[in-house]
Amino acid sequence: MLRMMSVMFLSALVFGCTNGKKVTDAQIVVLAIVGNDTITGNDLKHHIDKLNRSKIDLQNDEVRQSLLQDLVQHRLIYHNALENKLNESEDIRLDVLTKRDEIFYEKILRDYVYFAMISDEELKSLYEKLKTEVRVQQIYIGYRNPNKTFILDKKDVVRNVAEARHLIDSLHYAIAKEPELFGPLAEAYSNDENSKYLKGDVGFRRWGMQPELEKSYFELRVGELSRPIEADYGFYIFKATDRRNVENLKPYDQARPGLLDMKLSYLFRVKKAEIEKNKRRFGDSLLTEYKYTVNKSNCEKFLRVYHGIKTSAEIGTAFTDQDRALELAFFQNGKITVSELVHVMKSNTNKIKMDDRILNDGLKSVALRRIYSDVARNNGFELNDKENESLKNHEMNLMIGLAVNNLYDAMEIREKDIQDFYETNKEEYRQPGLINVSEITSPDMAALNRIADEVKKRNNFEKMYNEAQEIEGFKCSTTGLVSEMNSELIIQKAKGIAAGTVSEPFMKANREYSIIKVMDRKKGDFIPYGDLKDRVKEDYMNFKRQLTFNEWIAKLSVQHKVQIFSDRLASVFDIKMK
């Protein structure tokens, strides 16, 4: 499926740029030197952008240094891979060509299929909508995601759909009667952390920023309230507070490419079936034009060998050199061999149940990507800077992965080393232990917190446990010695708590609050080596890989004369890397 570009990038295509961003000194500061290569603040920013930033504490200096160290390691391994000419590997060459074909495939689909489904009238209608933007206040009332078993964060919503609907209807009724209540009620009830403390204000909205919701507030007059709308595990109320004309909209002819891309997001939401139908029709016409044919005899030979394979891991070695040269399909300017199909299928973790139909569909898919790429070149399509960078990064990542795999494949694994590892780490190989946990529970968070503070000050859990049994609404329970493998929440919470230690208060899924104390632990018996050889071997392999990798990186660091300037990290993160 076509990857949609970000709203910010699309806006740049449709709207004029008001403020050109300058590259700061902090972005180009050299953070490390790897041989003749340098790593700058900008390189680190791009590295972080590829990660899940919501889980990264960029204010933590240890985390910053770890991110820089990761980037240094990537560069070291990449240079080692270049020295060993891994870019000339047949697998990497085919992977890069496949990736390149996929990019051209998407370009052709976009220009010849997707854009053909969008009329000038639709584009001009969208352009007219973009001339106006509306300032919005919102209240979002969420309900619990049914796929989440436990509530792990105090900000997680615990109400169900019916409760959320009742609350949003009550808020809507109150605001409809007294419009000035919108801000205070947003602060008090909205589950949108970004806007609730701004009285629900989300600023000016342009058409295309929230496709699922924007019709609800663009149709409002200033001061008008929307009805409750359900989306994203919750309900919304919107209020239009201002409306203005957009000053920096480009002329229609210049904005048209961006308008087409914006319209695609709507196309994929509302015309999926039609898109698939047009893709098939266009693909079939190209297969006919390129005289695509299948060699049935060679396909039967391929299937005979393939059906003798038990697991997907065997596919790389199951075919002889003669088998791999067999041509399975032909088309103008190209052919598909067993070798190419094997390369595509090697990445499957499970063996595919292959028959004639599935094989033909797979061959068609491979052929179409090659044909689309040929069409793109014949029509003067080229990769832009962003696509070329993406292709280069793809090749780099493949080379890094192959270099690391080659390192691990060369490791020597001896039975004696595995046994020694078991003896050294014997404590890890016990039967599940037993644990005894006491719990104080209450639906009153404030009351439970008072007990928790008392326990923390005076170390008197047992006394407070006994007293809590006499307080209405409190529940006290003790598990007795049960297996640590017990799946109950109280045992799972107790796993990280030392014997004799009291937990911090935590919330349970049933809206109750608890503190627990691990009263006792008893270790399980040792499991004999012979009963878990495979597990110990896997653990040793992981240990050996990490040790080998660290030694390798240390050697490469000396070889390439690595210098890391950790003291410069602060200046880079001062720009807040937005």
In degrees, to the nearest 5, what angle opens at C-alpha 294 toward C-alphas 288 and 298?
170
CA distances from 455 to 171, 461, 474, 497 (A): 40, 5, 16, 16
Tell me which fold the domain 132-245 belongs to. Answer: Chitinase A; domain 3 (3.10.50)
Q: Is the pLDDT of residue 151 over 90?
A: no
Two structure tokens written together for 146: 């049914």
Residue 220 has what DSSP assignment? S
Cα 318 to Cα 504: distance, rounded to the nearest angstrom: 57
Q: In what helix (H) or strand (E) does residue 132 lie, and over which residues does it extend?
A: strand 132-142
Same fold: 132-245 with 430-522: yes
| Tens digit of each residue's pLDDT (9 = 90 or more) over 483-505 | 998 888 899 899 889 999 999 99
Across the range 466-494, mean pLDDT stands at 92
Secondary structure (H, E, C), 293-346:
EECHHHHHHHHHHHHCCCCHHHHHHHCCHHHHCCEEEEECCEEEEHHHHHHHHC
Q: Is the pLDDT of residue 265 over 60?
A: yes
| Under 8 Å between Cβ of 31 and 44 | yes
CA distances from 98 to 279, 328, 341 (A): 19, 18, 12
Cα 521 to Cα 435: distance, rounded to the nearest angstrom: 5
- pLDDT for position 27: 64
State the CATH architecture for 430-522: Roll (3.10)
Q: Is the pLDDT of residue 267 over 80?
A: yes
Question: 133-142, 151-160, 317-326, 456-465: which has the minimum mean pLDDT?
Answer: 151-160
Q: What is the mean pLDDT of the chain?
A: 88
| Under 8 Å between Cβ of 219 and 153 | no
Sheet containing 37-40: order of strands: 37-40, 30-34, 563-564
Sheet containing 201-205: order of strands: 201-205, 132-142, 234-245, 229-230
Q: In what helix (H) or strand (E) does residue 140 lie, and over which residues does it extend?
A: strand 132-142
Across the range 502-516, mean pLDDT stands at 88
Residue 432 has what DSSP assignment? -
Asked whether the whole model's pTM tops 0.85, one would answer: no
Say what the alpha-carbon torsion angle 266, 267, 271, 273 is, to the nearest 10 degrees: -130
Tell me which amino acid residue 160 is.
Answer: N
- pLDDT for position 244: 93
Cα 490 to Cα 494: distance, rounded to the nearest angstrom: 6
Sorted by where each begins, the domain ranges of the chain are 132-245, 290-378, 430-522
Across the range 202-216, mean pLDDT stands at 84
Q: Is the pLDDT of residue 526 over 70?
A: yes
Across the range 75-82, mean pLDDT stands at 96
Cα 465 to Cα 415: distance, rounded to the nearest angstrom: 52
**Number of residues in the chain:** 578
Tell me which amino acid residue 430 is.
Answer: R
Strand partners for 294: 329
Tell me which amino acid residue 305 is.
Answer: V
**Which percentage of the chain shows pLDDT scores above 70?**
91
Q: Quickly list DSSP for 459-507.
A: --HHHHHHHHTTSTT-EEEE--SEETT--SHHHHHHTTS-TT-BPPPEE
CA distances from 316 to 323, 341, 360 (A): 12, 11, 20
| Tens digit of each residue's pLDDT (9 = 90 or more) over 552-571 | 999 999 999 999 998 888 88
| Under 8 Å between Cβ of 330 and 293 | yes
Beta strands in 188-258 (DSSP E): 201-205, 229-230, 234-245
**Which percentage of the chain shows pLDDT scores above 90?**
64
Q: pLDDT tier at 115 (50, 70, 90 boundaries)?
A: very high
Taking alpha carbons only, the member of 140, 159, 164 closest to residue 148 is 159
